[in-house]
Amino acid sequence: MITRCYNQFIGRCIVIVGVLGILLVGTNTLLAGDSVSRPKVSAELYNHFDKNLRGKTVAFVPVLMGIPLTEAWAKVIKTQCDTLGMKFVLRDPHADPGAATQAISSLIIEKPDVIVVQNDNMQLLAKLIKKAEKAGIYVIQINLGSRYTSSAYVGVDWYNLGQMMAEDICKTSGTGSGKSGKVAIVQGMTTSSANIEQLQGALSVFQKHPEIKIVSNQAANWDPNKARDITATVLKQHPDLSAIYSFWGIMALGSGHAVKEAGLQDKVLVYASGGGSQTICENIETGIINRYWNYNAPLQGHDVMTAVKVVLQSGLKPGQLKITLYSPLELIIKENADNACWKLPAK
């Protein structure tokens, strides 16, 4: 009896040791051997991703480099392209419309897989973008769109931004605020989509608020000096101005300094929007700009790459898909300006 039990015990021990041994050897092989590969599902995903992206070329045509917005986009897009084994090409037209058309025309011949383009105005590149898509190149338009809707648009919903800012102005300067309700609008370039849609969005709100009076509505062509001159003149005629609605943060610095020079800081609110670079936050802290809608340029660059990944993996031809990735908007005021902005590392 005892012997049987003993034999059984020994038998079980041998089985357990055997199983453990097999497991151990197996695990070892699993850990060290070459034959181990990605689990099937993961491999399927990865192969699809890698096959569609690796070696592909992304060409970026901004309006011009050298401003925080385009520098941030280019940096993010390039970094991600490098990581994914994609080629990044930059063509800087230096704000020259002729150079921009040439850049797109020559890209149509060079055939990159994706063109990311920022339109200086709505008409200039519309036909060329259509031509590029017909030639089989996906076109992603960033922030400043054209009359042609291509495979993807990444950027601000300008009409909505105009409405948001106008509604805020109605709150701070309208009925019950104790202010005059006089508003000066300083537009950028009247032909750009950011300008046209934003103005329409803002006016759609102001129309419903008769207490808001637009006493000046002029374009400063994105130039802070021109914005300064216009604002200084308007402030002399309307020292009781409630708010200045500027279409771009850097241009708003001109208006802000005119307000400061007139000694009207905190009485006249300066509104603006932009990509949220560090200098802007410093100016919000010093009260040059009071209320700023940030569309976060590095995140927009990230969104561009999301759109690139989507269109390249979609299996659809350019023109067959329309993706819109609107940028989230964040309001920056003095109280949260401390950490809300970004700074590119020095070159």
Partner 1 sequence: MASNIRPIIFLKTAATKPTQEQLVFLITAIFLMFFAIFLDGFATIDNFITLARNISVLGILGVGMAIVVIARGLDLSQVSVMAVSTAWALTHMNDGVSLGLAIALGLGMALVVGLMNGFLIAFLEMPALFATLASGIFVFGVVRTWLLGGDLIFHVPKDAEEFLFLGQGTLGGIPIPILVFALVALLSHLFLSRTSYGRFIYAHGDNAEAASLTGIAVRPLTILEYTLCAFIGYLAGLVMVASVANVDTRIINSTLIFDTILVVVLGGVSLIGGRGSILSVIAGTALIGTLLNGMTLMDFTNEVQNIIKGLVLLCAILIDNRLHPRDEETAQQGDL
Which parts of this chain interact with partner 1 (CB under 8 A)?
64-68, 71, 95, 190, 215-219, 221-226, 228-230, 232-238, 250, 253-254, 257, 260-261, 279, 282, 286, 288, 347
CB of 258 to partner 1, least distance (A): 8
CB of 221 to partner 1, least distance (A): 7
User: Of the two residues 198 and 216, which places its CB atom closer to partner 1 in the complex?
Assistant: 216
Provide the β-strand partners of residue 274: 294
CB of 42 to partner 1, least distance (A): 41
Q: Report d(CA 272, CA 170) in Å as an integer.
A: 15
E strand residue ranges, 303-343: 323-326, 330-332
CB of 72 to partner 1, least distance (A): 12
User: Of the two residues 248 and 295, which places its CB atom closer to partner 1 in the complex?
Assistant: 248
Q: Report d(CA 162, CA 164) in Å as an integer.
A: 6
CB 183 within 8 A of CB 172: no
Q: Report d(CA 307, CA 140) in Å as an integer.
A: 8
Q: Three-state SS for 167? A: helix
User: Of the two residues 92 and 113, which places its CB atom closer to partner 1 in the complex?
Assistant: 92
E strand residue ranges, the chain: 57-61, 87-90, 114-117, 138-142, 152-155, 182-187, 213-219, 243-246, 269-274, 291-294, 323-326, 330-332
CB of 71 to partner 1, least distance (A): 8
Rg (CA), the chain: 29
Helix axes of 249-261 and 224-237: crossing angle, nearest 10 degrees? 40
User: Of the two residues 139 and 251, which places its CB atom closer to partner 1 in the complex?
Assistant: 251
End-to-end CA distance of the chain: 85
CB of 200 to partner 1, least distance (A): 16
CB of 261 to partner 1, least distance (A): 5
User: Of the two residues 215 and 331, which places its CB atom closer to partner 1 in the complex?
Assistant: 215
User: Of the two residues 134 and 267, which places its CB atom closer to partner 1 in the complex?
Assistant: 267
User: Of the two residues 232 and 310, which places its CB atom closer to partner 1 in the complex?
Assistant: 232
